[in-house]
Structure 1
Amino acid sequence: MYTLEDIKLYNMIVHILDSSLSVPVLSMEEMESNYDIKEFFANHLVKTLNDDSLKQCQFQTDYNMVYNYIKEYTQDDSRFVEMSINIANQLFSIMNANSNIPSADLAVVAFGCRGTKYLALLKLNYLNSFIHYTETNNNANVNQIIQHRTTLPNSGQKINEVIVINLSTLGIDILEKKYEIDGQKEFYLSLHFLKCQTNLSSKEQYNIVKKATDTITKKYFDEDVEKKMDIQQELYHNIEESGDINLDTFANEAFKNHVDIKKEFMETINEKGLEEPVIHLTEKTITRSFEKQKLKTDTGIELKIPMELYNDPDNIEFITNPDGNISIVIKNIKKIIH
């Protein structure tokens, strides 16, 4: 996990890309930095770097203006302002032609992290908020509240559109959203702005495996509680050891003695875009996915069980009764907290 201590800010500049205007409002000089501004950008960079929705991609270099601007900057970092202006113009031309893309300020930030230099493009989409102002009426102050339509996200909020470029390899990590382009929703940042093809994020990869596992389990083992538990536990242990999922190994163990079911599982995840034999998960994905196992009975009872206790008979036991009903025994409880 990245922390604020990992981030060292070098250069910062902000351009106004308001689609209600005919042209962008471009800065000709870098921002004056202070503690609050540095903390603002550092907080957003840490959130982005730790986000398990980050996708990776690589520039297509042919006829790619953004790639050319950044490549020139890597060869001469005194061109930071010039590079940022060119990039802002390129992005604004896409936004101006597609009214569904939200207006924003574009912050271009050069920073270091753990010995590597990066360039971040943070698209700070405008938020609606209310502010007060004071007007004078007949020599008397009157306080009013008005709606402000160009408020920026604060440090505690998530930015949904961020590009982080490794200036040594020119590899890209990206958070992005789909907006309508020519009548169809697309990831415009990767496809039209950067001109690159993205890989699935850690979160997306895990969700594909989890959904396929749940679907296959429900289809073939819905009445076999112990088998369902074993499959969930196998997925947990597969990830716990290395933070990765070897899909073939997991399928072999989860669906042993069921060759056709394993084949169906592998075909399902391949159809969803998982073709690599091993997927690598971030720490955030692992923590989010395996902190607790949720159970819901047909009688409406819901349980959240820590994964380390889920398959421990000293703490919880699932008993299949002769009539086919299931009893859940929770053990070693010292007190119940309401």
Structure 2
Amino acid sequence: MEYVNDITINEAIIHVLDNNGEEPLLNEELLNLNDEVYEFLFKHIQRIFKDEELKYAVFNENRNIIKDISQEYLNCENSLVEVSKEIANQMFSLMKSNGNIPSCDLVVASIFTEYGPMLGIIKMDYVKNYAHKIDYEKGKMGINIITQFTGLPASGQKIQKAAFIKLLKEENDVDLMVLDKQKNTKNKEEYGSNYFINNYLGCSLISNERDMTKNFLNAAEKWTRNNLSENADVAEKVRSTIKKSVLKEDTIDVDRVCDELFEEPEVKSNFKEFVKDAGVDDKLTVDKEWVDKKLKRVRLKIDKEIDLYINEEVYHDNSKFEIQRNGDGTINMVIKFVKNYIEK
């Protein structure tokens, strides 16, 4: 996984795309990137790159306006103002053809990272804000609260849809990084479908190391809950073995993990089929950076009554914490030599 940490914003522009309008409001000037505006955009971009739903993608082979126009800019063949207008026009056309796509301000930004230059497209859906309104009538002041629907998401709020496009090269495995969060809806034809990926960007998602690692851990945990809910002893062995594997190994061989975990052929086959159905390959590369961050702490929900947060290192330190196996499928979890505790 290419974790982007070094971000510099070169230039940026914003356009207004209002579903109620006949035409988009296209900016003719670049944003003035003073300290406050720069910080606002930087925090949003930084948050997008850290979002676990950010995916790898490649452009489809058929002709694509977003692909072509972005490469014009990245190859220094056109200005950000002109390129961004076409990018905004393409989004507005989709919005007018699909009334479920919400109005927004569209930010197009040129950035430089440790992986080279990228062109960012950030769809900033409007958020509801509240403000006061002052009226004077017959010499009296009246103050009311009114709603405003054109507020931009604050830097602490999450963006739903964004893309960062690379300069296309033959040696690239990835053309762009895409954030496409889906709206929870029973009707898949509503906003929340894949219009951003399929119709706008014209790209296809591809797996990355973080997604594969995350899918494997999630599938293993779901299998354990489904099959070992009444056997805490074996469940603890399965969870500890799998976590130890992803922490120590660079590559996971599912067959080898099954051999280490289970003796019964039926159980091995059941586990392997379950994780395969969850989209996990027989062999997968571990995203060590994601694992180191995610598995630093263990959160345990014990018999639906006790929550326990514990450092992964301490969990395996028998001088501080110990798993005692009772031989009947139950276990004791012993916290040792407590010197101090507080109640929260």
SS state at 1:336 partner:
coil
Deviations 1:239-280 (Å, cap 9, x if unpaired)? Answer: 2236x5514266245524344333332322322323372144
* Structure-to-structure mapping, 1:118-197, within 5 angstroms: 118-138=118-138, 141-169=141-169, 171-178=175-182, 182=189, 186-197=193-204
| Matches for 1:1-338 after TM superposition, within 5 Å | 3=5, 6-114=6-114, 116-138=116-138, 141-169=141-169, 171-178=175-182, 182=189, 186-200=193-207, 204-241=211-248, 244=250, 246-248=252-254, 251-252=257-258, 254-275=260-281, 277-281=283-287, 283-284=289-290, 286-297=292-303, 300-321=305-326, 325-338=330-343
Percent identity, aligned pairs only, is 25
2:45 partner amino acid: L
Q: What is the distance in 1 between the residues matched to 2:35 and 2:167?
A: 25
Q: 1:218 to 1:134 in 2, by over 3 A?
A: closer
Using the TM superposition, name which of 62-71 and 256-265 deviates more: 256-265
Q: How far has the Cα of 1:85 moved from its partner?
A: 0.7
Q: Secondary structure at the match of 1:186?
A: coil
Query: What is the CA distance between 1:284 and its match in structure 2?
Result: 4.8
Structure 1 pair 192/280, CA: closer, same or farther in 2 (3 Å)?
Answer: farther
* Deviation readout 1:255-313 (Å, 9 max, x if unpaired): 24344333332322322323372144373565235522313126x23322322222332
Indicate if the aligned counterparts of 2:105 and 2:124 stay in contact, CA closer than 8 A: yes
Whole-angstrom CA distance in 1 between matches of 2:258 and 2:126 = 49
Matches of 2:194 and 2:338, distance apart in 1: 50
Contact 2:247 2:288 (C-alpha < 8 Å) held by counterparts: no
Cα distance change, pair 71–324 in 1 and its aligned pair in 2 (3 A): closer
More divergent stretch after superposition (120-129 vs 278-287): 278-287
Instruction: Identify if the C-alpha distance between structure 1 residues 258 and 166 changes in structure 2 by more than 3 Å, giving closer, same or farther.
Output: farther
The alpha-carbon distance between structure 1 residues 140 and 20, as it changes in their structure 2 partners (threshold 3 A), is same
Question: Could you tell me the TM-score, scaled by structure 2's length?
Answer: 0.85
Distance 1:259 1:158, change over 3 A: same
CA distance in 2, matches of 1:142, 1:65: 52
Alpha carbons of structure 1 residues 201 and 53: separation in structure 2 relative to 1, 3 Å: farther
Query: How many Å separate the matches in 2 of 1:213 and 1:21?
Result: 50
CA distance in 2, matches of 1:235, 1:222: 17
> Residues of 2 paired with 1:322 and 1:213: CA distance?
23
> Structure 2: which amino acid aligns with 1:88?
A
Give the conservation status (yes or no) of the 8 Å contact 2:74–2:118. no
- What displacement does 1:222 show? 4.4
Name stretches of at least 5 consecutive residues in structure 2 with no aligned partner: none
Q: Which amino acid aligns with 2:218?
A: K
What letter corresponds to residue 313 of structure 2 in structure 1? Answer: E
Is this contact kept in 1: 2:259–2:268, CA < 8 A? Answer: no
Secondary structure of the structure 2 residue equivalent to 1:122 = strand
TM-score, length of structure 1 as denominator length: 0.87
